[in-house]
Amino acid sequence: MKRYISDQHFYDDDVMLQLDHRPFRDVKEMNEYMIRRWNDSVKNDDEIYVIGDMFSWSGTGRDPEKLNAVLHRLKGRIYLIIGNHDLKWFDRPDVDSGRFEWIRHYAEIRDTERNVILSHYPMPFYGMNHMRDKNGKLRTFMLHGHVHDTREAELLYDFERRTAQVTVTTAGGRAEPVICNLVNCFCGYSDYRPLTLDEWIRRRAELLQFF
């Protein structure tokens, strides 16, 4: 089973306290909670796509042994989309990059007959975004991270709501609304659990109604 998550920021005091205001006393408590939530949801043969910023190479996290210890406690087959915070650690020779099935800046995969675009940074317009299945449902989704649960995320959701009111004509001559199908896989939205595509799609619908 494929599952997705982004922006855990293991060992990142600043993100925990200043950006996300996560409800933990310190990074040790945060790390342990995120590891437990991950392993409670994931089976060993699951494919987990981390869509950037898994670790932050700062503070107490500036230690390859600590990063490796977390990686080897997590279940599943892990794939990493590189985020801006990952740039400082993912290719260091003392980090066990072999724990990942692959590490990429961007990827396009299939998940239960649907197209999934994986990028740490959200892109509202991307390839195959107008493709629909035989029932007329859009079947391409852009899964991203980066914006967490911030003012930037609110602006992104507002943009999606507004573009959905705009009609365009496709190359095939169909008139249809602009549906971006962006899915923010910020770990705080899932209580730090990697979710399936269907679970994230439902969470997306809740968020777009909320903001």
Strands 47-50 and 77-81: parallel
Task: Say whether pLDDT at 20 is over 60.
Answer: yes
Report the distance separating Cα 116 and Cα 48, nearest Å: 13
Report the distance separating Cα 12 and Cα 34, nearest Å: 13
What the chain holds in terms of domains, given with CATH numbers, is 2-210 (3.60.21.10)
Report the distance separating Cα 84 and Cα 66, nearest Å: 20
pTM of the model: 0.95
CB-based burial label for 66 (10 Å; 0-12, 13-18, 19+): middle
Report the distance separating Cα 207 and Cα 199, nearest Å: 12
Split at pLDDT 50, 70, 90, the class of 104 is: very high
Average pLDDT, the chain: 94
Tens digit of each residue's pLDDT (9 = 90 or more) over 36-64: 999 999 999 999 999 999 999 887 788 99
Tens digit of each residue's pLDDT (9 = 90 or more) over 138-194: 899 999 999 999 999 999 999 999 998 999 887 778 888 888 999 999 999 999 999
